[in-house]
Amino acid sequence: MKKVLFSATVDSHILCFHLPYLKYFKEQGYEVHVATNSDEKIPYCDKKHNISFERNPFKLNNLKAIKNLKKIINKEKFDIIHTHTPMGSVVTRLAARNSRKKYDTRVIYTAHGFHFYKGAPLKYWLMFYPVEKFLARYTDDLITINKEDYNRASRKFKTRVHYIPGVGIDPKKFDVKMSDSEKLDLRKSLGLAKNDFVLIYPAEISKRKNQEWLVKSLSSLIKQNNDIHLLLPGIDSLNGKINELVKNLNLEKNINLLGFRNDIPNLLKISNLAISSSRQEGLPVNIIEAMYMGLPIVATSCRGNNDLIEDGKNGYIVSQNDTEQFVDKIKKFYMQEIDIDIFKKNNIKKVKKYLLSDILKEYIKIYNSK
């Protein structure tokens, strides 16, 4: 029986993005293995391996992880190894480097956004770029999900480099039906009135996603227009820092930090405008999801965001930390100075290339190539 291994630092990465791919291999008769640093049950997985991956590259546990994963790879003799997440992929490729020759194992790495990018801190370039360039020699196929990463990797790295825009979103998840009364009930449950203008930014609360700048930038606009509200669904990785900022600015009634939510499609349905203040992205799923729902978007200029948004057509791209421009674009939608239907139509048309059915076909081509 053929065998495939998917590896990532954490279970959540597999559960959020790769179940359709595990399902594909299962349907093709493969024995499906998953390696992460935790013990959640993974659908379509035949064997689960707990490996001590650490996100911090300087943790000694990663050396232990290489040793343990190497034993598993030598024992199982996988036909394909598909690895994800930065440190998960470093460990996996080092552990698999001999099996490529011994057992003809294909090693595929999807880079969901390199840590080095245009505008990244110098220390990121010094730390991560040499590692990725070195490990390219132990990678049969490198898949990039945005054009900046693809252009750099295809020029600089000695391996086969592919461009596939993301992992694909499943339309079934977002084809939700909500009556007007259901939309109103959801709004009421969040303290929103029927005619409030709702901004939404579904993302982890983090330094990279830049919610601190976002809240400060929107504070004056919200205080001048009390019917503007901001929804921030997402896990808090800043230990309440943004909550405290919202309280200090007396914006608790207008800015809702919702924590983890499993009803993002419904929240998008009751929103008027999607926004992003991110400093850098791989290819942001939250924007693709907003596009599918037909929402116009105002987002900061960065890798990933720039791949998805055509300025003035399906949204607006704003320079990093340009508060005045960011607020001005939001006001254009709030004041109804723009024909939102044009943005909606453009997004629904543009998002088709990011749907799971088409993206999966591109991955299958790579899986089946020699």
What number of CA atoms fall less than 13 Å from residue 158's CA on the CB side?
Answer: 6
Least confident of 50-59, 154-163, 199-208, 321-330: 50-59
Residues 6+ apart with CB under 8 A from 25: 4, 32, 44, 80
Does the structure show a pLDDT above 80 at 294? yes
CA–CA dist 351, 165 (Å, integer)? 11
pLDDT at 57: 86
**What are the CA-CA distances from residue 216 to residues 34, 87, 209, 269, 326 (Å)?**
42, 33, 14, 26, 12
Note the pLDDT of residue 338: 87
Q: Which of 12, 7, 9 is nearest to 35 (CA)?
A: 7
> What is the dihedral sign for C-alpha 285, 112, 26, 9?
negative
pLDDT bin (cut points 50, 70, 90) of residue 210 is very high
The whole-number pLDDT of residue 80 equals 98
Average pLDDT in the 259-274 region? 96
Query: Which percentage of the chain shows pLDDT scores above 70?
Result: 100
The stretch 31-59 carries a mean pLDDT of 94
- Determine the Cα–Cα distance for residues 109 and 90; give it in Å rounded to an integer: 10
Structural domains in the chain plus CATH codes: 3-168+355-368 (3.40.50.2000), 171-354 (3.40.50.2000)
Mean pLDDT, range 250-265, rounded to an integer? 96
Q: Average pLDDT, stretch 68-76? A: 97
- Is the pLDDT reported for residue 127 higher than 80? yes
| pLDDT value of position 339 | 87
pLDDT at position 279 over 80: yes
For the residues of 137-190, what is the DSSP string, one character each?
A: GG-SEEEESSHHHHHHHHHH-SSEEEE--SS-B-HHHH-----HHHHHHHHHHT
Q: Which of 299, 305, 297 is nearest to 118 (CA)?
A: 305
